[in-house]
Amino acid sequence: MSIEIARIKKSFGRTQVLNDISLDIPSGQMVALLGPSGSGKTTLLRIIAGLEHQSSGHIRFHGTDVSRLHARERKVGFVFQHYALFRHMTVFDNIAFGLTVLPRRDRPTAAAIKTKVTQLLEMVQLAHLADRFPAQLSGGQKQRVALARALAVEPQILLLDEPFGALDAQVRKELRRWLRQLHEELKFTSVFVTHDQEEATEVADRVVVMSQGNIEQADAPDRVWREPATRFVLEFMGEVNRLTGTVRGGQFHVGAHRWPLGYTPAYQGPVDLFLRPWEVDISRRTSLDSPLPVQVIEASPKGHYTQLVVQPLGWYHDPLTVVMAGDDVPQRGERLFVGLQKARLYNGDQRIETREEELALAQSA
């Protein structure tokens, strides 16, 4: 079941929370709505579900406009962060609930409901807990029950609001893998909300990064990571070092030091330079490629690499996080030298293009 979100706007009083949102989700795709608190991601999910109504715009399921349909008429499954299980019902009865409250003409027989729930219990690996109550379950088990209940009515669209947010880290990892496997088996269209970058990129086919009611980027997880469309996406998607300096010619000037860029940007002047930890060259000897002195203040061996926190010596005030390959771990206090592999320059929110990008833009114009 495909989802078309067309020019959705939403206001609460005078506060605009969604700004002209458009997004197409193909049938069978799993999409993550990723962003910080207040980005509008949960409001958008609730509008898709019919739990909130947009101020303007349309929602279409497989080409049919459902914008004015009540949530129960949209036939979507919805999984809440805090499970929303009925405390007085057993696991079996919680999963069966959506089937037992269907209109009589649509309701399966008691035998069919029992068969369906038994199948779902096997699928979520909780058959041995069918007679327990929610208070007797772990957080991960409760979330599996909530997911089975949502799937009981055989929705073609599954919506999840921070489904793993209330769980500890190890349980989250296990359930993420399990949900992805389940999606591969059942091929339902799914949209889930998260503020966890790792969760979004690990589980989703496509990541939609949101900020202040806008879509910043909608792309495959690896492209969102490697090719951020905006400065917000770059800074939001994982750890990044920022240096403030000036571009003069083909060099980045910071303090009394210069850093060769390898190209001459069209823009000259004050900039912010961004580098992921693994995009920093690091060496025990100074060179043209690694001219800037630093001192190691933290060293965390990670197996085949070491994550370092280094303090610039005389050229910048904030520490940098860098990654050094190999098993020769630098010691705290050791002096090293850094340079860039792949720097991104911004003047405010405006990306400063590399020479290759400038030429490509000129040729496409």
Local confidence band at 358 (pLDDT 50, 70, 90 cut-offs):
low
- Return the amino acid letter for 211: S
Pairing of strands 189-194, 30-34: parallel
Local confidence band at 363 (pLDDT 50, 70, 90 cut-offs):
low
Task: Write down the H helix ranges in the chain.
Answer: 41-49, 71-74, 91-100, 110-123, 139-152, 169-186, 197-203, 221-226, 231-236, 355-364
Q: Output the six-digit token pair for 23.
A: 């997004």
How many other C-beta atoms lie within 10 A of the C-beta of residue 136? Answer: 12
Of 109, 108, 163, whose CA–CA distance to 139 is shortest? 163
Q: Which helix (H) or strand (E) holds 119?
A: helix 110-123
Domain residue limits, the chain? 3-236, 241-364
Of 211, 306, 309, 318, whose CA–CA distance to 273 is shortest? 318
Q: Output the six-digit token pair for 131.
A: 């007679």
Class of domain 241-364: mainly beta
Cα separation, 145 vs 130, whole angstroms: 10
Backbone angles phi, psi at 156, to 5 degrees: -90, -10
Model confidence, pTM: 0.86
Out of 3.40.50.880, 3.30.1490.190, 3.40.50.300, 3.40.50.720, select the CATH number for domain 3-236.
Answer: 3.40.50.300
- Please give the full DSSP string across 286-300, using - where no structure is assigned: --SSS-EEEEEEEEE
Q: Which residue has the tokens 């970058």?
A: 197
Instruction: Note the pLDDT tens digit of each residue in 180-229.
Output: 888 888 888 999 999 999 999 999 999 999 999 999 999 999 999 989 99
Percent of the chain clearing pLDDT 70 (strictly above): 96
User: Are the C-beta atoms of residues 357 and 365 closer than 8 Å to each other?
Assistant: no
Instruction: Name the β-bridge partners of 337.
Output: 283, 293
Angle between helix 139-152 and helix 169-186 axes, rounded to 10 deg: 20
Percent of the chain clearing pLDDT 90 (strictly above): 62
Q: Output the six-digit token pair for 170.
A: 């190890």
